[in-house]
Amino acid sequence: MSAIVEENGDAVPEIKVLFCLYENFDTLDVTGPLETIGMAVHDSDSRKLRLLRNIKVLMLHHLERKAFKAIFAAPSEHTVSRQGASFRAHIDYKEAMKLLPDVDVLIVPGGDYETVIKNNAEPLNIIKAYAELQKKNPARERTLFSVCTGAFLLAQQGILAGQCATTHPDYYTKFEILCKSVTQRDMGERTDVMEERYVVNNPRFDLGDEDENPYIRTRKDRRPSNARKGSNSWKESNKRRESNARRMSLAWGGLRVITSGGITTGLDAALYLVSAMVSLESANEVARSMQYEWHKGVVVKGVDV
């Protein structure tokens, strides 16, 4: 009863999310996405979920079927955020490296990124290892997701070469300087820095008809998409030949790279992640329950449905 069963009888696997903590990270960069994915369930009937919650049905946790499992990795057992909150890690980075092949989403918060880069400290190594893993094995769909100035750590490791990205607006200039420096260092492609709430690279499908894209902006009389949606699409993408072939043709083996802007935009990007990996209905229900208005970002040359 712990996993939703699709029409074909197969259970949707739990989506494993690894949060990469370090000293003086920004608290909301972690707790925002954590709260968002923690509320996501494999059930698109939001009216039924609200009814169940209102009447406090026993065994509700079995009916809701949580979509994500969060794991905290840090250099030591206890890590203190920039705001003074102490977080207890489930595993250290040595253990996290062993777990990496089973991780579906890697989340990198912002914070004191300068010290991390100066000391060549974690999570720099695990970020690069995760990207290299996808490059070597594109048969699995993986997502690398940074919040706020966490994008600097992705840029430092060369992950954003040839990609579009964003970060906190106060750091656009510094971010562009770092991206340019890394391009020269690696003799790679430039990074297109965008002023958006979040930016998604290497989505699941080519863009096709732009009017069918439900993730960027609201349109009247949008035609329904014929593509497989949400959790079923994520599950199928790990075993379909055309999905594997598409990922192989993209940067970093089709690693989905999401960068979000300042702090609260991590909520927006996390809602996007829920919509892509679970369902749009689930994301909308999470936003409703959180009393949060989902502000859409940009999906580059594709769509996740």
Q: What is the DSSP string of 256-279?
A: EEEEE-STTHHHHHHHHHHHHHT-
Number of domains in the chain: 1
- Kindly state whether residue 128 falls inside one of the protein's structural domains: yes
The CA distance from 244 to 114, in Å, is 36
Provide the β-strand partners of residue 299: 200
- Kindly state whether residue 3 falls inside one of the protein's structural domains: no
- Kindly state whether residue 1 falls inside one of the protein's structural domains: no
Q: Is the pLDDT of residue 271 over 60?
A: yes
For the stretch 202-245, pLDDT in tens is 988 765 555 555 544 444 444 344 344 566 667 677 766 667 77
Q: Is the pLDDT of residue 162 over 80?
A: yes
Domain extent at residue 114:
15-215+225-303
The CA distance from 249 to 57, in Å, is 48
Which CATH number does the domain housing residue 115 bear? Answer: 3.40.50.880
Q: Is the pLDDT of residue 39 over 90?
A: yes
When pLDDT is cut at 50, 70 and 90, the band that residue 9 belongs to is very low
For the stretch 191-211, pLDDT in tens is 999 999 999 999 887 655 555
Place of tokens 């192989």: 248
For the stretch 285-296, pLDDT in tens is 999 999 999 999
Global confidence as pTM:
0.85
- Kindly state whether residue 101 falls inside one of the protein's structural domains: yes
Residues 6+ apart with CB under 8 A from 173: none
- Kindly state whether residue 5 falls inside one of the protein's structural domains: no
Q: Which two tokens stand for residue 191?
A: 């990074």
- Kindly state whether residue 7 falls inside one of the protein's structural domains: no
Indicate the burial class of 98 (C-beta count within 10 angstroms; 0-12, 13-18, 19 or more). Answer: exposed
In the chain, the DSSP E strands lie at: 15-20, 68-74, 78-80, 86-88, 91-92, 105-108, 143-146, 164-165, 192-193, 198-201, 205-206, 256-260, 298-299, 302-303
When pLDDT is cut at 50, 70 and 90, the band that residue 89 belongs to is very high
- Kindly state whether residue 8 falls inside one of the protein's structural domains: no
- Kindly state whether residue 4 falls inside one of the protein's structural domains: no
